[in-house]
Amino acid sequence: MSEPRTLLVIAGEFPPLKTIGRIRTVKFVDQLRQHGWRSIVITLKPSGTEPNYDPSLMAEIVDGVDVIRVPIRNREEEIANAVKRLLGRKPAAPAVSAGTASGAAVAVAAPVATAASGGLMDHAHALTRWVLRSFVDVPDDFRLWADEALKVARKLCAERHIDAVYTTLPPFSSMFVGHALRRETGLPWIADYRDLWYGDVLREWVPDWRKKIELRMERRLLREADVIVTVSEPKTAYMQRLHPELKARWETLTNGYDTELYGERKRTRPFTGETIEFVYTGRLFKNRRGYAFAEALGRLHRSDPALAARARVRIFGGVEPSIRKRYDQILAEYGIAHLYDFAGDVPYAEAMNAQVNCDYLLLIVDTGETSDGVIPGKLFEYVSVRRPIFALCDPGATQQIIERARLGRAVPAESAEACEAMLRDWLARPVPEQVDSDDAYLAQFDRKAITARLARLLDEVVDGRKGAPAR
């Protein structure tokens, strides 16, 4: 039997962080072993105090996988403490790291927006934050982390036999690692776009002038990529239109579901029909809000309070303060606060149990210009549960999968009217004890099948690059 090949993985999201993005990478790393590929993973070193930190998820990393954790530096904090020392003030205690690649980038706000007390230091700190996030930490807050990760990666390439480099983004700064390694070593580089960089619905906050800079930056980096992977056909088509000059190979590898993900978890909550529970597990932020469902339930409460009273909505995950404030306004306006439960961040196992025991899974998908190509990893996590899905999403790939596979139904993400009509229907009918899914159609999204495609792709790229000089 031939020696396994080695894949160097650069992944900002990896256990013990309970981001949905970690699942794709940790499953690839595990299942690639069956195809002759072992992995070395360079990832974030969490502080252990992040809201999305869950030490139990370390069990997801299989034995034998080398994981090298690189801490993330807080440039804002370093500058602020240096100034305080110059002024003879006590430096602040270390801030909690963002800990999540996809949620680290924040909107470029006015310098005074975050000044809490209005003091000189507050204004100076806010100005520093604005300058760094506008002009220095581009495309995201992980530039310093990427620099340190590159140092580690260079050392590994010099000391170990590496066959290929795989970067998964966000964080988008990991692109700099893949680009540098491709130029310096000639190793094949696969850039995996879980989210779009330019044009992503969650990055609409980026001002136009900076979008132009980032587009040129992305195009320059991708000139070195051997393969560009996205998670949906619309995203692949969008990227091809955006970068027609690239010579890279284009591939679509969707996220997938795992039949064994939930293990031996069994439903313990009986199907009584007295209370119908809708469960959403995940964060609410930026373009992922779900207001339409709350408004629909409120309208139903006014027209048919007895029917609305059957519903309970449980949200497991962090909610941005501005979004929670809007929810509180909606719930107060319609008098339905008692029908909502915001559980906050909970251990991953608790969220999984909530999914298994609910009546309907609530899926809230990002809205925006490129939302037609969004297929959230959460969808495939839900597929593994096999409970009916009530989806708020714009027409596109996610809606097509849900309805083609008979997993549930979808309504436009921000249409309270459409949501109310479907909610009225679902509350009035018996809750199905299992989803009548089209398993033959879903087979293409089995994680093991997708990993097998990735393994073939890696083999083809490596075999095709043997003896080729670095570009």
For position 286, what pLDDT does the model report?
83
Residue 58 lies in a domain: yes
Number of neighbours of residue 8 by Cβ within 10 angstroms: 27
Of 201 and 100, the one with more pLDDT: 201
% of the chain beyond a pLDDT of 90: 71
Residue 134 lies in a domain: no
Mean per-residue pLDDT, 156-166: 97
What digits encode the pLDDT tens for the residues 80-106? 666 666 766 666 555 444 445 554 333
**Rounded to 5 degrees, what angle do the CA atoms 264, 266, 272 make?**
175
- 350 shares a domain with 430: yes
- 454 shares a domain with 423: no
Residue 352 vs residues 94, 267, 313: alpha-carbon distances, Å: 32, 11, 16
234-257 exposure pattern, b = at least 16 Cβ within 10 A, e = fewer: bbbebbeebbeebebeebebbbbb
- 455 shares a domain with 439: no
Domain CATH number, residue 16: 3.40.50.2000
Q: Count up the domains in the chain and report the number.
A: 2
What digits encode the pLDDT tens for the residues 327-361? 999 999 999 999 999 999 999 999 999 999 999 99
Question: What average pLDDT does the chain have?
Answer: 88
Q: Does the structure show a pLDDT above 80 at 271?
A: yes
Residue 220 lies in a domain: yes
CB 406 within 8 A of CB 438: yes
- 282 shares a domain with 195: no
Q: Does the structure show a pLDDT above 90 at 66?
A: yes
Which pair of tokens denotes residue 106?
């924040």
Which pair of tokens denotes residue 339?
């029908």
Residue 367 vs residues 194, 204, 206, 382: alpha-carbon distances, Å: 16, 10, 16, 19
Residue 197 lies in a domain: yes
Question: Scanning the structure block, which residue is given the tokens 């064994």?
Answer: 260
What digits encode the pLDDT tens for the residues 212-246? 999 999 999 999 999 999 999 999 999 999 999 99
Mean per-residue pLDDT, 249-275: 89
Q: Give residue 337's domain range.
A: 276-444
Mean per-residue pLDDT, 15-35: 95
First to last CA, the chain: 32
- 205 shares a domain with 60: yes
What digits encode the pLDDT tens for the residues 364-416? 998 877 778 889 899 999 999 999 999 999 999 999 999 999 999 999 999 99
Contacts 24+ apart (CB under 8 A), 435-440: 435/386, 435/387, 435/388, 435/389, 435/406, 435/407, 435/408, 436/406, 437/383, 437/386, 437/405, 437/406, 437/407, 438/404, 438/405, 438/406
What digits encode the pLDDT tens for the residues 439-456? 999 999 999 999 999 999
Residue 87 lies in a domain: no
pTM score of the predicted model = 0.85
For position 468, what pLDDT does the model report?
53
- 395 shares a domain with 333: yes
CB 405 within 8 A of CB 443: no
Residue 203 vs residues 207, 233, 370: alpha-carbon distances, Å: 9, 20, 11
- 294 shares a domain with 224: no
For position 82, what pLDDT does the model report?
67
Indicate the helix (H) or strand (E) that contains 229: strand 227-230
- 366 shares a domain with 351: yes
Mean per-residue pLDDT, 182-209: 90
Residue 133 lies in a domain: no
Residue 95 lies in a domain: no
- 349 shares a domain with 209: no
Residue 401 vs residues 84, 294, 396, 397, 410: alpha-carbon distances, Å: 54, 24, 9, 6, 10
β-pairing verdict for 249-252 and 227-230:
parallel
CB 462 within 8 A of CB 163: yes
Which pair of tokens denotes residue 67?
């994981």
- 368 shares a domain with 421: yes
Mean per-residue pLDDT, 303-326: 96
- 428 shares a domain with 360: yes
For position 264, what pLDDT does the model report?
79
Secondary structure letter of residue 433 according to DSSP: S
Helix (H, G, I), strand (E, B), or coil: what is residue 377? helix
Residue 69 vs residues 9, 47, 159, 256, 392: alpha-carbon distances, Å: 12, 11, 18, 26, 36
Comparing 22-36, 114-128, 281-295, which segment has the lowest mean pLDDT?
Answer: 114-128
Residue 417 lies in a domain: yes
- 362 shares a domain with 338: yes
